[in-house]
Structure 1
Amino acid sequence: MPVILSAVIIVFVAVEMLILPWFATAFLHEEPMVAGAWMGLAVKSDGGAVASGAITDSMIRAKVFSETGVQYEEGWMLMTATTTKVFIDIFIGVWAFILAIIWCMYNLNQNDGGCSTNTKVSASQIWDRFPKFVIGFALTFLVLLLWGLNDASIIKTAKVGIDEANGFRTILFALCFFSIGLITNVRKLWDAGMGRIVAVYTVCLFAFILWVGLFISWVFYHGILPPTIN
């Protein structure tokens, strides 16, 4: 089941990457930061959200410039999408940690990986279940923040490094989806029950996931515009 669900999400991510940036450009070009945050909330994979943010960034900047002559600085919508997705990941990680503790304390599913009848949660159990990617996010943020505060000159160098890394990110992301497409046996997944999951996920996505994400993005970013290039 996890494999089938992952395959469904990847398929929907590919579709969202084609549709949502166009939709955001057509209807949210006057609220570019809302559009960027929406990509981070609506597109389910990290790579897909970042890629959608980059596409939306380019399309909205081009549309606004052609219609009004206003030129936004590059990367602000992409940064908004990325930041939103990172905070979602941290939020999920924290709740996964809390639920893992509850799982152990109340001895849930003892016959299939649950803890012993002892309600005391050991440090090893916490460490085994703790989502360790949260540590990576936190350490990276703190190191870069402290480094930048102590030496402002590295900011320019960091931006150059980011620009160089973006090229590799784009290539590797394209190779990732291409490889997934090559190895995915859709017929086998469909026989295993993929059709029902697709139907349920489609209803959930178009019934409330997209629109709740859009509403939250509007609440937090309505009226905020990227800096312009004079």
Structure 2
Amino acid sequence: MSSTQATVTSPPKTRFAVSEDWTVVILGGLIILLAIAGFLLPVPVFGWSNPAELTAKVLNAGNLGIIALQFLLVFTIGGLGASLIGKPLKSYLLVFPVVYVLTILALILAGNQQVKALNLEAVIFSLSIGLIIGNFFKLPDWFRSTLTTELFVKIGLVLLGTSVIFSDILKAGSLGLIQALLVVVSVWYLAYWTCKKLKVDDELTMMISSAVSICGVSAAIATSGAIKGDSKKLSYVISMVLITAIPMMIFMPYVAQYFNFPQEVTGAWLGGSIDTTGAVVASGTLVGETALKISTIVKFSQNVLLGLAAFAISVYWTYTKHPNSQEPNSKPTLGVIWERFPKFVLGFIGASLLFSFFISPETTAQVKDSLKNLQGLWFALAFTSIGLETNFADLFNKQSKKPLYAFLIAQTFNIFITLVIAFVLFGGK
């Protein structure tokens, strides 16, 4: 870290401050409860194919009004969060509208029909816009320090739990869960071992291992939260996930068709090896209805393991990276483990259990679109913020080659081992 970076101090906290993770649980729970109570915001339209359609569908007064209402909600929720964790509200009032406008621009760009055909996700654009502005314009230190990246990310993760419905997964039987467990364990260990052999640092090792083996972007984010990782490293891992997902999404269905793989096997292969849910759905659609169904079930099964994985990683990290460096052989107490445990995982699991066993299917159907829209918005806000606070030199430097090699080796292993497991479990169907 440079001397100039080291002198940047965190904003002073208010007398009353809640930990960030508990704040996220509170705010995520508040959003969910408001939705269940009937406070549902319409979902803005961002899809367009030509300038005329952009004006007519996206930039019309009605849709801009919905975007403004959405701003008021997330602005209020984010302001409450900033206040609870001790961020200066005056700075937040100036910074958040800028982040929101840039994020909406990213969502509009991602809504283009040609862009959608390439399955380029909105977070790519929000990250890119943030990186361009953050690197070509000198932003003041108070602006960067006000960005509440972790808060946005973790709220999105809590809302992600509302879409992980156990009953949907169990309807397809146990094979999807069995495959997910086998893939996650084998690929995670191989990725971890590869990173260690290449001397990748510990934070990147954990993020890469989780991203490749579990569910891509969401797993990298959850792992970063569990180990309190560097957002710049998280940005790099997510860039690798998104970039590699595109060729996998395009070429894997054609490989399956060329070798005449059964649709069940192809679906399990796609769902277990491609790291983003959007790319899984797109590639499954290229193969057929059965492949799409199986690929989605397998991917959801991996998502179910996200909370358990984050818990295990947080415990492991606490035991191996505990703060008492004077006594390296000492073990942290249960109190230390609980203190360092990522509480947002409780929000994720709680939301999943709530929508799996306590909320009626009718209510779930009513609120799912609104909550999914807000989940994607919080993630996009987070990646705009990551871009604004990240320097290109930090993101792409000589030290980034070894993590890239480790990621590609692990992803290649993931492709082949998942195919073998898919044939073993689904080949007889």
AA aligned to 2:300 is T
1:198 equivalent among 404, 411, 425: 404
2:273 equivalent among 27, 32, 42: 42
**Structure 2, unaligned stretches of length 5 or more?**
1-200, 204-229
Distance 1:22 1:171, change over 3 A: farther
Counterpart in the other structure of 2:282: 55
C-alpha contact (below 8 Å) 1:21/1:52 kept by paired residues: yes
Query: TM-score normalised to the size of structure 1?
Result: 0.61
C-alpha contact (below 8 Å) 2:280/2:295 kept by paired residues: yes
Whether 1:216 aligns to 2:414 is no
**Residues 128-186 of structure 1 deviation map (CA, whole Å, 9 limit, x = unaligned):** 232434423432333233325xxxxx314423433454455566666766776676543
Residues 1-230 of structure 1 correspond to what in structure 2 (within 5 A)? Answer: 2=203, 3=230, 5-28=233-256, 31-39=262-270, 41-44=272-275, 49-61=276-288, 71=289, 77-87=295-305, 89-100=306-317, 102-103=319-320, 110-111=324-325, 117=330, 119=331, 121-147=332-358, 154-166=360-372, 185-191=391-397, 193-206=399-412, 208-223=413-428
* TM-fit CA distance, 1:127: 0.8
Distance 1:188 1:179, change over 3 A: same
**Residues 187-210 of structure 1 deviation map (CA, whole Å, 9 limit, x = unaligned):** 44333611232233323332x233
State the alpha-carbon separation in 2 of the partners of residues 93 and 200 from structure 1. 21
What is the RMSD computed on CA atoms of the aligned residues? 4.0
**Residues 64-114 of structure 1 deviation map (CA, whole Å, 9 limit, x = unaligned):** xxxxxxx55976533431222331x2442343255256448xxx67328x7
State the alpha-carbon separation in 1 of the partners of residues 378 and 263 from structure 2. 27
AA aligned to 2:324 is Q
* TM-fit CA distance, 1:223: 4.9
* TM-fit CA distance, 1:33: 4.9
Distance 1:25 1:159, change over 3 A: farther
State the alpha-carbon separation in 2 of the partners of residues 176 and 57 from structure 1. 28
State the alpha-carbon separation in 2 of the partners of residues 127 and 203 from structure 1. 34
Distance 1:142 1:167, change over 3 A: closer
* TM-fit CA distance, 1:25: 2.0
State the alpha-carbon separation in 1 of the partners of residues 390 and 318 from structure 2. 35
Query: TM-score normalised to the size of structure 2?
Result: 0.37
Distance 1:195 1:163, change over 3 A: same
Distance 1:131 1:165, change over 3 A: closer
* TM-fit CA distance, 1:211: 1.9
State the alpha-carbon separation in 2 of the partners of residues 178 and 32 from structure 1. 38
**Structure 1, unaligned stretches of length 5 or more?**
62-70, 149-153, 225-230
Distance 1:177 1:218, change over 3 A: farther
Distance 1:124 1:180, change over 3 A: closer
In the alignment of these two chains, the number of paired residues is: 198
Q: Percent identity?
A: 19
C-alpha contact (below 8 Å) 1:96/1:130 kept by paired residues: no
AA aligned to 1:20 is M
* TM-fit CA distance, 1:12: 1.8
C-alpha contact (below 8 Å) 1:21/1:56 kept by paired residues: yes
AA aligned to 1:53 is V
